[in-house]
């Protein structure tokens, strides 16, 4: 039965008000000065409040070609802005070998500072999060696509951080699982909420109740990761796949990418009717952009578009 048929007196108005509030939230997260379309338009909204995730992986620093700068070996967090054909891709590498990438107050502070800087940088198109400690994946709020590259262990908090990313890729030899129940606690970093959303409630319960650890192939089979790769000699197969994906994202309109991510994230938390209203509000944000006009002109002239994120 359609939802409208089941509504009692006054319920329709309450539903519309609820939709309007959700669309206002959506528009608020799109950036300063955004307005919802049509009858839902209201006052201008404040600065963007973005929500998304964290997680790393891989072995060794990887190829140095294309990095704009190097950092001191003792730094716990390495932020690398790639250059040349990879311009727009940022790699966040956790480098806390002596603590097996466990979180310290200093590392959390550095992560928070890095994320805040990346959120306001319009040149950033995709963020790859990896571990620079061989065999360990562990440890965000970013409006751009985030990819977790899992080349080693991602247990407990490490997997929770990977779950907060948009896309997860892993080597077949990687190990991942929410193992907290073995310690008589539960996943407390979003695992009980994000894992069911990723693989379904029943299977998520099974994995959490059993504290089971999956390898890359098993994780792919249950839908926990998008891609699984045979590990290479350098130990960074997942990172290389993440880089390939990030390169696929680079040519697309940056405003559209951010808004698409927002529409998906917000829409998954509500019913379909409200989700479609959120999509409409997000779509409206792309119409007045210079990038949209550039995309149409490039298509007409049969050339690659030159997007500026405007």
Q: Which residues are catalytic, by number?
A: 160, 180
The DSSP bridge partners found for residue 149 are 169
Could you tell me where the beta strands, DSSP code E, fall in the chain?
77-81, 89-94, 126-131, 146-150, 153-155, 167-171, 175-177, 214-215, 227-229
Give the strand pairing for 227-229 and 167-171.
Answer: parallel
String of DSSP letters for 183-199: GT----SSHHHHHHHHH
**Pairwise CA distance, residues 240 & 256, whole Å:** 25
Residue 88 near residue 124 (C-beta atoms within 8 A): yes
Residue 203, number of CB atoms within 10 A of its CB: 15
Residue 189 near residue 210 (C-beta atoms within 8 A): no
Residue 144 near residue 125 (C-beta atoms within 8 A): yes
Compute CA 6 distance to the chain's CA centroid, rounded to the nearest angstrom.
37
Q: Nearest CA to 163 among 183, 146, 144, 143?
A: 146
Token couple for 256: 């559209």
């Amino acid at each position: 039965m359609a939802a409208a048929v089941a509504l009692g007196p006054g319920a329709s108005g309450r539903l519309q008000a609820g939709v309007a509030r959700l669309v206002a939230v959506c528009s608020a997260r799109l950036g300063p000065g955004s307005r919802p379309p049509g009858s839902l338009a209201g006052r201008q909204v404040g600065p963007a409040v973005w929500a998304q995730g964290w997680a790393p992986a891989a072995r060794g620093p990887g190829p140095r070609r294309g990095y704009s700068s190097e950092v001191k070996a003792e730094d716990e967090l390495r932020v690398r802005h790639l250059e040349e054909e990879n311009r727009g891709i940022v790699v966040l590498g956790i480098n806390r070998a002596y603590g097996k990438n466990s979180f310290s107050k200093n590392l959390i502070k550095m992560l928070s500072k890095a994320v805040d800087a990346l959120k306001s940088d319009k040149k950033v198109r995709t963020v790859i999060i990896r571990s620079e400690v061989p065999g360990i994946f562990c440890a965000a709020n970013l409006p751009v696509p985030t990819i977790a590259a899992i080349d080693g262990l991602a247990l407990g908090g490490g997997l929770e951080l990977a779950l907060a990313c948009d896309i997860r890729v892993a080597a077949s030899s990687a190990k991942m699982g929410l193992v907290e129940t073995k310690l008589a606690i539960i996943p407390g970093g979003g695992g009980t909420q994000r894992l069911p959303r990723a693989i379904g409630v029943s299977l998520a319960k099974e994995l959490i109740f059993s504290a089971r650890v999956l390898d890359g192939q098993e994780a792919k089979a249950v839908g926990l990761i998008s891609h699984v790769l045979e590990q290479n000699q350098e130990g960074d197969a997942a990172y290389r796949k993440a880089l390939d994906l990030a390169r696929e994202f680079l040519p697309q309109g940056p405003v559209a990418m951010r808004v698409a991510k927002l529409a998906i994230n917000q829409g998954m938390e509500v019913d379909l009717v409200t989700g479609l209203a959120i999509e409409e509000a997000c779509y409206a944000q792309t119409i007045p952009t210079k990038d949209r006009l550039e995309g149409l002109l490039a298509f007409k002239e049969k050339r690659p578009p030159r997007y500026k994120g405007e």
